[in-house]
Amino acid sequence: MTTTVIRNADFVIAWDASAKQHVYMHDADVAYTDGVIDFVGRSYTGPADTVIDGKGRMVMPGLVNIHSHPSSEPMNKGLTDEVGTPGLYNSSLYEYLPIFRPDPSAVHDCVRVALSELLLSGVTTLADLSVAHPGWLDVLAEAGMRVCVAPMFRSARWYTKNGHVVEYEWNEAAAEKAMTKAFSLIERAEQHPSGRLFGMVVPSQIDTCTEGLLKESAQESKKRGLSWQIHAAQSVTEFHEITRRHGHTPIGWLHHLGLLNERAIVGHGIFLDDHPSTRWHTDRDMGILAETGTTVAHCPTVFARRGITLKDFGRYRRAGVNMGVGTDTYPHNMLDEMRLVAYLARTQATNPRTLTTTELFEAATIGGARALGRDDIGRLAPFCRADIVLVDITHPRMRPARDPLRSLIYAAGDRAVHTVIVDGQVVVADGKLLTMDYEAAAASLHEAQKRMVAGVPDRDWAHRDIDHISPPTFRSV
């Protein structure tokens, strides 16, 4: 056994078990042995095989990201920043998502870029919602991150032939096969020699899955003790499609099917029955989410680009909804995402007090951990996993550092992340990633995007080239 001690840290964000909340602890130590925390407090006197100097550091729990798409989204940088389909309420899901896809040779570069950015921004646990791809588990293990493997499957693909009507091509047999494959992959993940992979069940979207697939997947997730996540209430188009099919809102339909509970996660959950863009005759969706213990995975950046946002994060919290945070799109920077969570909540509520930094940090740590069914991550306490981030509070961007967490989220961001430890292993040191070649993956992805955009006219219903769909910032001369 090997014990490491982080000694005399200026600040430790420790877990107060009696109050069930994070607290600042000054001039404190954190000790861990073989990936498990032994001690959080002052004046540690136990064994110490390795000592890390905590002076000038804030020690905090690693961040928990419960919704991300590493195998595809890094490819979209520079393409979807200003893209939305006017005839589909400015959503880009149905027209552009199917045509902006990396070729198989670029998928691992996508994953490496995303996971590199996430680790550098203090994420130690990630839910990777991807379509299964060869070598997936090994490339995740290569990063050194703790990953919830979440292979997506669905009964239909969506598409549009005119930019204002969404159509669905159904294949229920293929969906059953994909779900079976997903459970097999989850079993392999949980047996992976890294010991850091676990699983989650993800029928892709509420509008692309049959009632049978939703129920069967949820039943199997319960049997296996796994969390279950679905994209729902994520677009006006989807809201109208579900009310047309079933006479229920998306949240109402999931509740009607008995699918919402403490291990259920709704990806996005924006368009409730009281949202001004989708006002329905009921006023129950928020109460349903709270009463069932369902988590909402909030990922503001991808929607803010299209002029869409949750109304608002603080309101959901006050209603009793468990909230988590994810990075649905690029940049895969959790601290940037958290800052946007706070600012959008306050602008939507027209109230700077609708969401505190305390509540925001809880969502990005224990809120996400709760959704994933984990009580051993997202907090610094004995018997928890040693998933730890050291922040350099002497960094100029952190100064003044009266309240270092606020300085980190609202000013310094990932620039001040000095060290990241996952399961007791250092994966970022002095702001440098140790496990993956981030620069090489980004360079390869740059070339892969060129290959992808060359084929856009063949995949687009109107056969437009990329400069028509996503005009450059300036014309070239």
Q: What is the CATH number of the domain that holds 330?
A: 3.20.20.140
Judge if 403 and 276 occupy the same domain: no
Specify the pLDDT at position 97: 86
Specify the pLDDT at position 286: 98
Is residue 295 in some structural domain?
yes
Q: Using CA atoms, how far apart are residues 200 and 88, in angstroms rounded to an integer?
A: 30
Digit-by-digit pLDDT tens for the chain (477 residues) are 899 999 999 999 999 999 999 999 999 999 999 999 999 999 999 999 999 999 999 999 999 999 999 999 999 999 999 999 999 999 988 998 888 988 999 999 999 999 999 999 999 999 999 999 999 999 999 999 999 999 999 999 999 999 999 999 999 999 999 999 999 999 999 999 999 999 999 999 999 999 999 999 999 999 999 999 999 999 999 999 999 999 999 999 999 999 999 999 999 999 999 999 999 999 999 999 999 999 999 999 999 999 999 999 999 999 999 999 999 999 999 999 999 999 999 999 999 999 999 999 999 999 999 999 999 999 999 999 999 999 999 999 999 989 999 999 999 999 999 999 999 999 999 999 999 999 999 999 999 999 999 999 999 999 999 999 999 999 999
Is residue 442 in some structural domain?
no
Judge if 285 and 313 occupy the same domain: yes
Is residue 472 in some structural domain?
no
Judge if 56 and 118 occupy the same domain: no
Q: Using CA atoms, how far apart are residues 78 and 470, in angstroms rounded to an integer?
A: 8
Residues constituting the chain: 477
Is residue 322 in some structural domain?
yes
Please name which of 134, 96, 140, 100 lies closest in space to residue 119, comparing C-alpha atoms. 140
Q: Using CA atoms, how far apart are residues 179 and 154, in angstroms rounded to an integer?
A: 8
Is residue 451 in some structural domain?
no
Is residue 152 in some structural domain?
yes
Judge if 423 and 363 occupy the same domain: no
Among 351, 371, 391, the domain boundary falls at: 371
pLDDT tens for each residue of 319-336: 999 999 999 999 999 999
Residues 6+ apart with CB under 8 A from 221: 200, 201, 227, 228, 263
Judge whether 22 and 14 are in contact, CB under 8 Å. yes
Judge if 56 and 76 occupy the same domain: no
Token duo for residue 273: 């029955």
Is residue 241 in some structural domain?
yes
Q: Using CA atoms, how far apart are residues 100 and 7, in angstroms rounded to an integer?
A: 48
Judge if 67 and 183 occupy the same domain: yes
Judge if 21 and 169 occupy the same domain: no
Total-model pTM: 0.97
Judge if 55 and 73 occupy the same domain: no
Among 325, 343, 371, the domain boundary falls at: 371
Specify the pLDDT at position 1: 87
Domain that holds residue 359: 63-371
Is residue 455 in some structural domain?
no
Judge if 51 and 160 occupy the same domain: no
Judge if 215 and 345 occupy the same domain: yes
Judge if 117 and 47 occupy the same domain: no
**Whose structure tokens read 């299964």?**
132
**What total number of domains does the chain contain?**
2
Among 352, 371, 390, the domain boundary falls at: 371
Token duo for residue 374: 């984990």
Residue 10: give its domain's CATH number.
2.30.40.10
Judge if 92 and 47 occupy the same domain: no
